């Protein structure tokens, strides 16, 4: 039963993540290709949109966290996670593009898998129900 619940949670995490990731790639590509914005700045803007939508969806739907008390603590933890993942992802994106000569979209696809796994692990801890 527990494995079924955990699998359902992972599926919800991935489905709700599709909304954020979809908007991420759309913003990244449009800003970079059509507006000529540097890919790192495009990635930064896209990250803000992605993680804002993900916080709401993961809190309410993925992890079914209805708690309203101390939401500022969860927001703080989530922002810390986002900053850490952003720094890791952006540095990795830069290295993959500039030194391994990958196209920025291919590099980002690789990083999306890695960051998604890390994000699930950290988000699960942030939104876990309190045990007494």
Whether the model clears a pTM of 0.85, i.e. scores above it, the answer is: no
Tokens of 75: 């927001």
Average pLDDT estimate for 36-41? 93
Average pLDDT estimate for 85-104? 94
pLDDT value for 131: 61
Segment 6-15, tens digit of pLDDT: 888 999 999 9
pLDDT value for 73: 92
**Cα(115)–Cα(2) distance, integer angstroms:** 25
8 A C-beta contact, residue 30 and residue 90? no
The percent of residues above 90 in pLDDT, for the chain, comes to 61
Segment 21-35, tens digit of pLDDT: 899 889 999 999 999
């Amino acid at each position: 039963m527990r494995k079924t619940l955990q699998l359902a949670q992972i599926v919800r995490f991935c489905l709700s993540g599709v909304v954020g990731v979809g908007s991420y790639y759309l913003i990244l590509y449009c800003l970079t290709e059509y507006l000529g914005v540097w890919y790192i700045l495009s990635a930064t803007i896209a990250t803000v949109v992605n993680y804002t939508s993900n916080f709401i969806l993961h809190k309410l739907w993925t992890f079914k966290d209805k708690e309203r008390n101390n939401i500022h603590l969860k927001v703080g933890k989530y922002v810390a996670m986002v900053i850490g993942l952003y720094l890791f992802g952006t540095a990795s994106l830069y290295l993959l593009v500039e030194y391994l000569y990958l196209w920025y979209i291919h590099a980002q696809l690789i990083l999306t898998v890695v960051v998604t796994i890390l994000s699930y692990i950290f988000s699960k801890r942030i939104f876990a129900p309190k045990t007494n």
